């Protein structure tokens, strides 16, 4: 990768926000996903809504949507974009919970950072809500991990 490939730096190497003002408006959609690995007993508690802090998936869903809407405030060079839709989908497996977040917008820049922010915040919220069950005797989390966070799709249709 050369410095010419970096869009958020100027010729002097200083960080800058990309000017998207001349780009045409487009309908955009991005989907991201990730996984949190947990003890099977913890997943059973989530599935049975038996976690002391409350409904884990409902709380994580709200957190994911909130994160999508506030991405521009937490990632310095992201533009504030109009979010037209957020879909969240959880898949509860024996030893993990998978989260997929789809984000839609109409504007001059994409929404993949918003989808990624939704996934990571949603999974972090799951971790926060189940951490008491996941801790070992020393207070660590030897088997708990968030992994495989990625952008799955990114679509763009220029509007005329």
| Token pair of 19 as six digits | 């000017």
- Catalytic residue, chosen from 3, 10, 55, 128, is 128
Q: Give the chain as a 3 state SS string.
A: CCHHHCCCECCCCCECCCCCCCCCCEEEEEEEEEEEECCHHHHHHHHCCCCCCCCHHHHHHHHHHHHHHCHHHHCCCCCCCCEEEEEEEEEECCCEEEEEEEEEEEECCCCHHHHHHHHHHHHHHHHHHHHHHHCCCCCCCCCCEEEEEEEEEEEEEECC
Question: Is 128 marked active-site?
Answer: yes
- Token pair recorded at residue 50: 């038996």
Count the residues in the chain: 160
Active site residues: 128
């Amino acid at each position: 990768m050369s410095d010419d490939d970096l869009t958020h730096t100027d010729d002097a190497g200083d960080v800058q926000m990309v000017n998207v003002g001349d780009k045409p408006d487009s309908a955009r959609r991005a989907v991201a996903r990730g996984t949190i690995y947990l003890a099977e007993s913890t997943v059973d508690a989530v599935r049975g809504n038996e976690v002391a802090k409350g409904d884990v998936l409902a709380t994580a869903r709200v957190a994911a949507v909130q994160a999508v809407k506030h991405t521009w405030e937490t990632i310095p060079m992201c533009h504030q974009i109009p979010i037209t839709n957020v879909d969240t989908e959880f898949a509860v497996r024996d030893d993990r919970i998978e989260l997929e977040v789809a984000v839609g917008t109409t504007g001059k820049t994409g929404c993949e950072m918003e989808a990624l922010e939704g996934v990571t915040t949603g999974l972090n919220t799951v971790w926060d809500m189940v951490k008491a069950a996941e801790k070992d005797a020393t207070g660590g989390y030897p088997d708990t991990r968030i992994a495989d966070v990625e952008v799955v799709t990114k679509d763009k249709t220029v509007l005329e």
